[in-house]
Chain A
Amino acid sequence: MKLEVRELSAGYGQGQVLHGLDLDLPAGQALALLGRNGVGKTTLVCTLAGLLRPTGGRVLLDGRDVTGWRPDRLARAGVALVPQGRRVWPALTVHEHLALATRHGGRTWPTERVYEVFPRLAQRRRHLAGQLSGGEQQMLVIGRALATDPRLILMDEPSEGLAPIVVDQVAEALRMVVREGLTLLLVEHDLHLALGVTEQAAVMVRGLIVHRCPTPQLRGDLPTMRRLLGVAG
């Protein structure tokens, strides 16, 4: 699914966070959205997912204007969100999570396909989500998003609070998402993870995208990384 964002503005009450942001993400491409804290990455993800209403600009999916659509309508149109902080339902089992994602009335993946992607979830299918480890919960949230058969996945800090070994598992899950040909917008502080799974990178500063290039190019451009992201070394 092709994503186009034109002069998008959004914020909270009187506080404007996005100031006329432009972004193009071709279908099937994976983009890492980078930037320091507070530059508006999560605000952009929430706006694209319909959780926050834009105050200006347009959002187009495959050329169709979806500006201001409600989250459920966007989800049925093929947009999935993997929110920051995992956000599982602690009192529901793994299987109930996936069943929920496949019952909204739109196109879905069979639950077994999610288990094929994440065999660990198959082993834990009868466990409550609240009893899972952080990495398993993250797999569950990604699996839950995949089960809705999305064409665009918005991921906000999937590695947040995870042990390094678990981050590697999440990275493998993200590579799988890319291999499936889904369009991926990945907000991530872990540069190693973000640049390791995406083809393009964009850097945000104060509500705008100020730099965009192929991922290998950014990896080799230490001065830019130092200037825009505060990377030491």
Chain B
Amino acid sequence: MTSLAQTRAAPARPRLGVGARTATGIAAGTLLLAAAPLYLAPYATTTLTRILVFGLLAASLNLLVGVVGLPSLGHAAFFGVGAYAAAWTAIHGLAGAGALLVGVVVAALVALVAGAVAVRASGVFFLMLTLAIGELTQQAADSWESVTGGSNGLYGVPAPTLFGTVLDQPATTYWYVLGFFVVGMLALRLVSTSAPGVVLRGIRDSEDRMRALGYRTTAIKLGALVFAGAVAGLAGGLLAAQQRLVTPADVGFETSALALLAVVIGGTGSWWGPCLGAALVIVVRDSLGATLDGHGPLALGLLFVLVVYLLPTGIARIRLRRAAS
């Protein structure tokens, strides 16, 4: 039998708690990403910037799909509205963080209006309603020429400025996008892993039980959709800053579907998994697709089928399972 003295003589090796390990992981990941332009070519840096923008969009969609259980096919509406609002604001003289803020607020307002209708539905009905909202938004972007530039889009968006410095180089744009990407991801993590996240997961698993506990579930789901829409709007604002151009294609079904694809591929069980999915989607579509004679979408389809069959819980789950075992 182990005596108390023996137990005291052999103290357990100090170990980092889960919170400290996560904080260390986030800090290390951020530093690694921040250093990327120092060893990557400008094209690769630009691709990585697109991945961050799309990853933030996918992660915001994951809050709805993975945490609240609301699969949306119209999330690009908020992304596009944020992009248009930020681009319009930048063109009219307020570039940088101010334009981003306008993008976030306008996207949140659109999500509030759209969500007031959509969150009363669930399952396939929610999917169809969000699809309709996405299509309506794209139609508006296409036809409201005086504001959106119509099918030509809004071009000539000025580069963001920070403390008087114009961020028009691939590396500086990347760092600008990375800074807001980290802020957006931390906000998403805070919501999905803290007390509000438990409430949202409770609604996902049984809305009736949550109502029986006294929760106004419709209002809570609307709040989650507005928050996810605001983060998607932030991603849209970053897209405008990076591409310096916003077109109706950024608002449409294809963008929503690709974001949903990134969530499924990355895995809905983790807050960072959709970013991995987004990276794969962007690399396969933009980089690999170019070498496949323009058959990027076909490669994406194959990737999706493979993931669904071989990793039904997503890529991130492999790591989580290994970490747990």
Asked if A104 and B214 make an inter-chain contact with CB atoms under 8 angstroms apart, the answer reads yes
Which of B212, B216, B217 meets A51, CB within 8 Å?
Answer: B212
Asked if B211 and A75 make an inter-chain contact with CB atoms under 8 angstroms apart, the answer reads yes
| B211-246 to A contact mask, C-beta < 8 Å, 1/0 | 111111100000000000000000000000000000
Q: How far is the CA of A148 from the CA of B210 in the complex (A)?
A: 12
Q: How far is the CA of A50 from the CA of B211 in the complex (A)?
A: 9
Q: Which residues from A are CB-within-8-Å of B205?
A: 89-92
Q: How far is the CA of A92 from the CA of B212 in the complex (A)?
A: 17
What 10 pairs across the A-B complex have the smallest Cβ distances? A75-B214, A104-B214, A71-B211, A72-B211, A76-B214, A81-B212, A71-B212, A89-B205, A96-B198, A104-B215
Asked if B217 and A89 make an inter-chain contact with CB atoms under 8 angstroms apart, the answer reads no
- Known contacts A51-B208, A87-B206; is A75 also within 8 Å of B201 by CB? no
Best-buried of B201, B206, B213, B215 by chain A (most CB within 10 Å): B213
B32 within 8 A of A: no
| Distance to closest chain A CB from B203 (angstroms) | 10
Query: Which residues, 76 to 90 on A, are CB-close (under 8 Å) to B?
Result: 76, 80-81, 83, 87, 89-90
Q: How far is the CA of A83 from the CA of B206 in the complex (A)?
A: 12
**Residues of chain A at interface, number, CB under 8 A:** 26
| Distance to closest chain A CB from B320 (angstroms) | 13
A161 within 8 A of B: no
Q: Which residues from A are CB-within-8-Å of B215?
A: 72, 104
Which of A87, A99, A103, A105 meets B209, CB within 8 Å?
Answer: A87
Q: Which residues from B are CB-within-8-Å of A104?
A: 213-215
Asked if A148 and B213 make an inter-chain contact with CB atoms under 8 angstroms apart, the answer reads yes
A100 within 8 A of B: yes
- Determine the main DSSP class of B at the interface with A: helix
Q: Which residues from A are CB-within-8-Å of B201?
A: 89, 91-92
**A interface residues with partner B (beta carbon < 8 Å):** 49-51, 70-72, 75-76, 80-81, 83, 87, 89-92, 96, 99-101, 103-106, 144, 148
| Distance to closest chain B CB from A75 (angstroms) | 4
Q: Which residues from B are CB-within-8-Å of A101?
A: 213
Which of B202, B211, B214 meets A92, CB within 8 Å?
Answer: B202
| Distance to closest chain A CB from B210 (angstroms) | 8
Asked if B206 and A106 make an inter-chain contact with CB atoms under 8 angstroms apart, the answer reads no
Q: Which residues from B are CB-within-8-Å of A83?
A: 209, 212
Best-buried of B199, B212, B216, B217 by chain A (most CB within 10 Å): B212
- Known contacts A104-B215, A144-B213; is A89 also within 8 Å of B195 by CB? no
Q: Which residues from A are CB-within-8-Å of B198?
A: 92, 96, 99-100
- Known contacts A87-B206, A89-B201, A91-B201; is A49 also within 8 Å of B212 by CB? yes
- Known contacts A49-B212, A75-B213, A81-B212; is A100 also within 8 Å of B206 by CB? no
Q: How far is the CA of A57 from the CA of B215 in the complex (A)?
A: 26
Q: Which residues from A are CB-within-8-Å of B195?
A: 99, 103
